[in-house]
Amino acid sequence: MTGRDDLRFIPSVDEAVRHLEAEGVLDGRPRSMVVRAVRAALEEERGAILGGREPRTGSEAEVRRAILELLGRAVERASMRNLVAVVNATGVVVHTNLGRAPLSGDAIEAVAAVSRAYSNLEYDLVEGRRGKRDLLVRDALCELTGAEDALVVNNNAAAVMLALNTLAVGREVVISRSELIEIGGSFRLPEVFEKSGSRMVEVGSTNRTHLADFEAAIRSSTGAIMSAHWSNYEIVGFVERVSLRELAELGARVGVPVIHDLGSGILVDTAQLGIPGEMTVAESVKAGATVSTFSGDKLLGGPQAGIAVGSVDVIARMRSNPLTRALRPGKLTLAALQATLTHYLDGTALEKVPVLAAITTPVDELAARAEAMVGSLAAGLGDRADVTVTEITSRVGGGAAPEREIPSRGVDIAPKGVSAATIVANLLEVSPPVIVRTREDRIILDLRTVSPSDDDFLGKAILEAFGGS
């Protein structure tokens, strides 16, 4: 039989979909999506046959079954492109690829409440007339940061862009060569300057910048001085940096505003988080930044948002910039942000904000959970793997304390007779999918980023990835 004969076994799209429906593959999936996935997979199969692929072996019934199984997998894979919750066992607390901060229970409820019904998004209940959405969380942000005024936009990239455009369109912005940062996902400061309509003036060198360098660069055409956080790198050795306070004093002296891009917005004492040396938003404001910008979904632990806090004058100018309308947050964001900020106002942030709770979970607690998981996995996996508790380090991630490692405990799984890569791939097909890290040919589960209520599920997922118990 030549490969071409295999064409006889290819079902029609209709036939295939009817079969998958009978097998329950359509459950909860839109039919059009299934049809699209089936059609693409059948075309691929036909192309392979016409391209001269070796014929499938086995009886006619077996070949037909193999093709239907292939179609079932194609539908599963197409569903894997949907946005779903995953279990993060990587130990990277603010993981940009995994959606950054999970929300607190209160924040989730707040989102649900304002999405189920109408809300006072732009209606002032005190005055009984039209109100402004950006006043909703302003007081909380001012109280928590010590700033005079605050504005919320879609993300921190937007906040930086808006600050630059408002203060320095057609003008120059002075920045140290050591701070021309690139954050993943195509945020590169030199390009942001260009798009904002401002001109970047670099001063100093990669490792050393002095106050005199800034002083020499200030001219009548200077719109702002900028400082950006080294979110994902460090410069060590023969280094000199101008402090934010010095920049602020210079700015005040020459009448030029200072923009401080903090990256991760920290609202609690960093010593409590074990990351001393990172600057909080309040410290940025106190040091004299005219406007400080930060993300809502990094160490603040709320929804994706960009927050700018600063002087009444500058925030008012940003608010009236037409760009602000294009960058404004939705009600779901504001509801989640408001609820998250309430945890800080209440003094309960370390327990209730999930990223802070994860960072501050004591190692002993993680060790006890790891012990328990090793016990059940060792029993379930038998001689399919060696399972042990391992000392590891978690990372804060998301552009805060880039090199800082937090001691943690995890589960080390060394598979036998199957590669770690196969298990890792199988874990992506579990529902919800599980994301892990690997070390040599072993799987490492860092429990710091796993909610204790997910421990049982995680254990079952591992057994499933090994092919069941």
Ligand X SMILES: *Cc1c(COP(=O)(O)O)cnc(C)c1O
* Interface with ligand X (CB under 6 A): 155-157, 160, 181, 183, 187, 228-229, 231, 261, 263-264, 295, 306, 399
194 or 371: whose CB is closer to ligand X?
A: 194
Burial of 457 (0-12, 13-18, 19+ CB in 10 A): middle
**H helix count then E strand count, the chain:** 18, 18
Q: Which residue's C-beta sits nearest to ligand X?
A: 263
Partnered with residue 174 across adjacent β-strands are: 201, 225
Query: Between residues 305 and 381, which has the closer beta carbon with respect to ligand X?
Result: 305
- By beta-carbon proximity to ligand X, the closer residue of 295 and 390 is 295
The residue among 111, 115, 134, 131 whose CA lies nearest residue 123 is 131
Minimum CB–partner distance for residue 192 and ligand X (Å): 9
3-state helix, strand, coil in the chain (%, to 5): 45, 20, 35
Q: DSSP H helical segments within 169-234, as ranges?
A: 189-196, 211-217
- Report the residue number, 17 or 157, with the smaller CB distance to ligand X: 157
Residues 6+ apart with CB under 8 A from 304: 100, 154, 155, 295, 296, 297, 333
Q: How far is the CB of 134 from ligand X (least distance, A)?
A: 17
**Distance between CA atoms of residues 314 and 260, nearest Å:** 13
> For residue 351, how many other CB atoms are within 10 A of its CB?
13
Q: How far apart are the first and last CA of the chain?
A: 41
Rounded to a whole number of angstroms, the minimum distance from the CB of residue 107 to ligand X is 17
CB of residue 323 to ligand X, shortest distance in Å: 15
- Between 301 and 415, name the residue whose CB sits nearer to ligand X: 301
Question: In whole angstroms, how close is the CB of 156 to ligand X at the nearest point?
Answer: 3
User: Within 13 Å of residue 284, how many CA atoms lie on the same side as its CB?
Assistant: 34
Return the number of the residue (257 or 306) whose C-beta is nearest ligand X: 306
Instruction: Output 307 or 411, the one with its CB closest to ligand X.
Output: 307
Q: Please say whether the beta carbons of 132 and 143 come within 8 A.
A: no
Q: Which residues pair with 411 in a beta bridge?
A: 389, 445
Minimum CB separation of residue 142 from ligand X in Å reads 20
User: Which pair of structure tokens corresponds to residue 132?
Assistant: 């402004």
Smallest gap, in angstroms, from Cβ of residue 195 to ligand X? 14
Minimum CB–partner distance for residue 295 and ligand X (Å): 3
CB 211 within 8 A of CB 383: no
Identify which of residues 251 and 263 has a Cβ nearer to ligand X in the complex: 263
Q: Encoding tokens for residue 148?
A: 């005079």
How crowded is residue 354: how many other Cβ atoms within 10 Å of its Cβ?
19
Q: Between residues 257 and 399, which has the closer beta carbon with respect to ligand X?
A: 399
Shortest Å, Cβ 410 to ligand X: 26
**Residue type at 98 in one-letter notation:** L
In 146-221, alpha helices (H): 156-168, 189-196, 211-217
